[in-house]
Every structure is written in C-alpha cells, then in structure tokens.
Amino acid sequence: MPYKDPKIAREKRLKWEASHKPEMKEYLADYYKKNRKEALEYYATHRERARDRKLKRVFGITLGEFRVLSESQNDLCAICNKKEIIPNRSLCVDHDHTTGKIRGLLCYKCNVMIGMSNESIQIMENALTYLKKHGN
C-alpha cells in the first residue's frame, strides 16, 4: 500500500535505496542501457534539473550551492587558479572519499591529479620533490 503522504513515501524510498546501494547501482545501469536514447534526450532538455539531481545524489549539495561555491572561488580551480579549459565542462567537486566532505572545486586536470595520487599527501610531496629536483 503506497503512503498517502509523499514526504513519508520519499523518506522510505531514500532509506531503502541507501541500504541497497549495489542493487540500485545495477538497476540504474541496466535502466540506462535499455533507455539510453530517452535518457540522453531527457538530459539534453532538462540539463539544469539533471545536474541538480546528480549533485544532490552524489555530493549532497544543490546546483545553487555549487554555484555559490564556484563564485566564492571566482569560477577558478582551487589548486591552479585557472578556469576549466575543457569545453562544456564545469569545475569538479573535490571531496574526501572517506568522509564525503567537500573540499572545493577543481578543474578536470587537478581533480585527476588528486585522484591518481589516491589523495595521498606523501605521494603529492614526493611529486613536488621530484619536480624541484629536475628543475621544473
């Protein structure tokens, strides 16, 4: 029997989804494969809404909060202080993969650099020492 109060129904659904993440991930991947054309059309016509939903789902922030964070960084990467150079791409949300805490926004290159180092300060310090040693 469905819940009459949509808020309660949503809370129950979100609680269930949170406790069944692998199943949800598999279901969504299958759904996307079967409905790829419709999904792409939806994202093309509802770009802002889709982005807002993804930010909420993945990072727990709204598109408005993302924009405030971006404006606070003058739309620049928190590491290299440059604008994102890849066309049609915004800055990436950098977050601690253990705690989920958002650290800031990074360009694609800096985000990949952090990820490839496994977020290890030691690896990043070693890379810096290496670059200094070889005169960069």
Over residues 119-134, mean pLDDT: 94
- The domain tally of the chain equals 1
DSSP string, 65-101: HHHHHHHHTTTS-TTT-----STT---EEEE-TTT--
Quote the tokens at residue 129: 């020492």
29 is written with which tokens? 């991947």
Q: Is the pLDDT of residue 4 over 80?
A: no
- What CATH number does residue 83 fall under? 3.40.1800.10
Q: What is the mean pLDDT of residues 91-100?
A: 90
- What's the pLDDT at 21? 87
CB 106 within 8 A of CB 122: no
Match 């309660």 to its residue by tokens: 8
Q: Is residue 52 part of a domain?
A: no
* Strand ranges for the chain from DSSP E: 92-95, 102-106
Q: Answer yes or no: is 67 within a domain.
A: no
Q: Is residue 29 part of a domain?
A: no
Domain limits for position 106? 73-136
pLDDT tens-digit map of 21-54: 899 889 989 998 999 999 889 888 998 998 999 9
Angle at 82 between CA 48 and CA 100, to 5 degrees: 55
Number of continuous H segments (helices) and E segments (strands) in the chain: 7, 2
Taking Cα atoms as reference points, which of 47, 60, 124 lies closest to residue 90? Answer: 47
Residue 61 contacts residue 93 (beta carbons within 8 Å): yes
The Cα 89–Cα 5 span in angstroms is 38
Query: For residue 44, what are its two tokens?
Result: 């093309």
Query: Is 31 within the bounds of a domain?
Result: no
